[in-house]
């Protein structure tokens, strides 16, 4: 799974497909979508039209509450495969900790064992919900995709996940506009040392600590910039300094940690 992917939330229609094609042309090889986004179809079209071999692209999607339950989840998997125009999904997640998550995960597990899904996981589970879930889920989730950014690093959650074999992935690494992260003085000052932008430092801070990220952008130059972080290594002092931005609070009200 690539450490930097491309988020597609809010992308719709032909304009949305063009943006996804731009991202693929810029070098992205992880495309993140979801039933809830209502755009799996344009992701599938963009992947097909890109002419990039399917096995070079990592597609993540998620089942939401409309497919909560075993039979509905099985149906949702088939729907995703059809809309994405593919015979396998690289990573399928349960979008939220629904009451029916266990039954949904049973459907994911069967599809994983049959080869329809290459990896399975969850999204937006806090540590308590995660630990309860893995007591009975069978296959340990390979990924937990959660809100994570410089203001909400969630180090303890990552430690809990990794102790049991689950990787943490960050949605909202730029806070979805909730904070002026691109003007954050600490990130700008650290960036000056390396000739990088505040945005690049915000991503590198997470990636360097083993958290994959899925930023969004509709601008080609910003897409390229967000991928251009792997020639920089932050020092322990840099990381400690950025950690001072930590608030310990969600910006979206999803979690009770």
Instruction: Give the count of domains, the chain.
Output: 1
Has residue 65 got a pLDDT over 70?
yes
Would 159 be classed as within a structural domain?
yes
Q: Range with the lowest mean pLDDT among 44-53, 118-127, 247-256?
A: 247-256
Residues making up the annotated binding site for substrate are: 95
Of 37, 112, 151, 152, the active-site residue reads: 37
- The pLDDT-based confidence of 63 (bands split at 50, 70, 90) is very high
Q: Residue 157 is part of which domain span?
A: 6-243
- The pLDDT-based confidence of 257 (bands split at 50, 70, 90) is low
Has residue 49 got a pLDDT over 60?
yes
Residue 250 CA, distance from chain mean position = 16
Has residue 244 got a pLDDT over 90?
yes
pLDDT tens for each residue of 79-107 = 999 999 999 999 999 999 999 999 999 99
Q: Are 77 and 117 in contact (CB under 8 A)?
A: yes
Would 250 be classed as within a structural domain?
no
70 in active site: no
Would 43 be classed as within a structural domain?
yes
Residues making up the annotated binding site are: 95
CA distance 3 to 58: 11
Would 96 be classed as within a structural domain?
yes
Query: What average pLDDT does the structure give for the chain?
Result: 97
Would 70 be classed as within a structural domain?
yes
pLDDT tens for each residue of 129-141 = 999 999 999 999 9
Domain CATH for 105:
3.20.20.100
């Amino acid at each position: 799974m690539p450490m930097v992917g491309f988020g597609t939330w809010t992308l719709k229609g032909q304009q949305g497909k063009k943006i996804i094609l731009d991202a693929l042309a810029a070098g992205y090889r992880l495309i993140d979508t979801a039933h809830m986004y209502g755009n799996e179809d344009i992701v599938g079209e963009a992947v097909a039209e890109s002419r990039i071999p399917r096995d070079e692209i990592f597609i993540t999607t998620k089942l939401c509450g409309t497919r909560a339950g075993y039979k509905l989840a099985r149906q949702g998997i088939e729907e995703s495969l059809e809309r994405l125009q593919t015979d396998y999904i690289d990573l399928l997640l349960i979008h939220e900790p629904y009451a029916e998550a266990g039954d949904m995960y049973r459907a994911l597990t069967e599809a994983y064992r049959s080869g329809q899904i290459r990896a399975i996981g969850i999204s937006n589970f806090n540590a308590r919900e995660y630990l309860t879930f893995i007591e009975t889920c069978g296959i340990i989730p390979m990924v937990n995709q959660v809100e994570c950014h410089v203001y909400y690093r969630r180090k303890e959650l990552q430690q809990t996940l990794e102790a049991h074999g689950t990787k943490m992935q960050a949605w909202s690494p730029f806070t979805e506009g909730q904070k002026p992260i691109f003007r954050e003085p600490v990130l700008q000052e650290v960036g000056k040392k390396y000739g990088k932008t505040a945005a690049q430092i915000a991503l590198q801070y997470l990636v360097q600590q083993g958290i994959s990220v899925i930023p969004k952008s509709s601008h080609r130059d910003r897409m390229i910039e967000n991928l251009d972080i792997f020639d920089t290594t932050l020092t322990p002092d840099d990381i400690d300094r950025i950690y001072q931005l930590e608030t310990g609070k969600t910006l979206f009200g999803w979690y009770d940690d």
